Amino acid sequence: MDDLALDVRQLSKTFGAAAALHEVSLQVRRGEMVALLGASGSGKSTLLRHLNGLHRADAGSVSRVEVLGRRVQEGGRLARDIRATRSRVAVVFQQFNLVDRLPVLTNVLAGALHRLPLWRGLLRRFPAAERQRALEALERVGIARCAWQRASTLSGGQQQRAAISRALVQGAQLLLADEPIASLDPESSRRVMQCLADVNRELGVTVVVSLHQVEFAFAFCPRTVALREGRVVFDGPTSELDAARLHELYGAQSDELLPGRPARDDLALERPTFAPDPLPVAA
């Protein structure tokens, strides 16, 4: 279907004797922002890594993954044009994946390498138009003033926003964020999630973000897909989740998703209210 950004059918993956994913099927429409929720070991990261071919499904399976109308893999075999598809899909990792000794701007410009001659990347001779694009991306996430600093001088939240800027320079139509706020403090987490929400709302980029804390799913993601032990156990409006439902789905593991809250069936889960703090947007 032309309106699908992501179409996953019967995706299974085992590592040795352990089943990481079990016949996962999932569809995400273009322009959606979806939370992929689950406790540690639920299969969130494994699923995301299949969506751009970093992992292959079990060989001989009937699995199929399509992204933006293009085949990524089928039956555990990657599509021949996987590189072209990957250029339209950006991944933001928990570890930031920036080169510490290089300026922030140079790290962000790495998003343009797929459309430039190799020599430009090796010599760091980026066209003026690409540099301007990178500066605008940094402005969009509120850290343009850091463009010439070494990446190592940024805070964790700023480094994650730089990684989002790199995805914008890449021109990605689908952004996969793998636990992007897992190592950040609450305020930095809020700013990173706000960046992802702004990119989704203002640029129409489809965002799938894996999370541990359900309160951030409530605040930023209209839809949540919950995984447990490699299976989809919930797929629907985030507003339909509450503490009782999470306890039903995850049992004692629900404490991991609701930090600081006891796992009780009668506990109401309120949608958190974050103070509005819109990030600057480049003209």
pLDDT single digits (tens) 43-60: 999 999 999 999 999 987
Q: What is the gyration radius of the CA atoms in the chain, in angstroms? A: 19
Q: Looking at the predicted structure, is the pLDDT value of residue 158 above 60? A: yes
Which strand ranges, in their side-by-side order, compose the sheet holding 77-78? 18-29, 4-15, 64-67, 70-74, 77-78
The 10s digit of each residue's pLDDT in 10-23 is 999 998 888 899 99
Q: For residue 276, what pLDDT band results from cuts at 50, 70 and 90?
A: very low
Buried b / exposed e over 259-276, threshold 16 CB at 10 Å, is: eeeebeeeeebeeeeeee
The whole-number pLDDT of residue 259 equals 61
Contact 85, 79 (CB under 8 A): yes
CA gap 144, 135 in Å, rounded: 6
The whole-number pLDDT of residue 260 equals 53
What amino acid occupies position 166? Answer: R
CA 19, chain centre distance (Å) = 23
* Residue 147 phi, psi dihedral angles, 5° rounding: -55, -35
Where does the chain show beta strands of DSSP type E? 4-15, 18-29, 33-37, 64-67, 70-74, 77-78, 89-92, 174-178, 206-211, 223-228, 231-237
DSSP conformational letter for 222: S
Task: List domains and CATH numbers for the chain.
Answer: 31-53+82-257 (3.40.50.300)
Contact 57, 12 (CB under 8 A): yes
Contact 169, 112 (CB under 8 A): yes
Q: Looking at the predicted structure, is the pLDDT value of residue 281 above 70? A: no
Residue 234 forms beta bridges with which residues?
Answer: 226
The whole-number pLDDT of residue 40 equals 84
Please give the mean pLDDT across all residues of the chain. Answer: 87
Contact 165, 138 (CB under 8 A): yes
CA gap 268, 147 in Å, rounded: 44
CA gap 144, 265 in Å, rounded: 46
DSSP conformational letter for 275: P
Crossing angle of helices 128-140 and 186-203, rounded to 10°: 120
CA gap 178, 236 in Å, rounded: 20
Where does 79-188 show beta strands of DSSP type E? 89-92, 174-178
Neighbouring residues of 262: CB distance < 8 A, sequence distance ≥ 6: 255
Q: Looking at the predicted structure, is the pLDDT value of residue 179 above 80? A: yes
**Half-sphere exposure (Cβ direction) of 38: Cα atoms closer than 13 Å:** 27
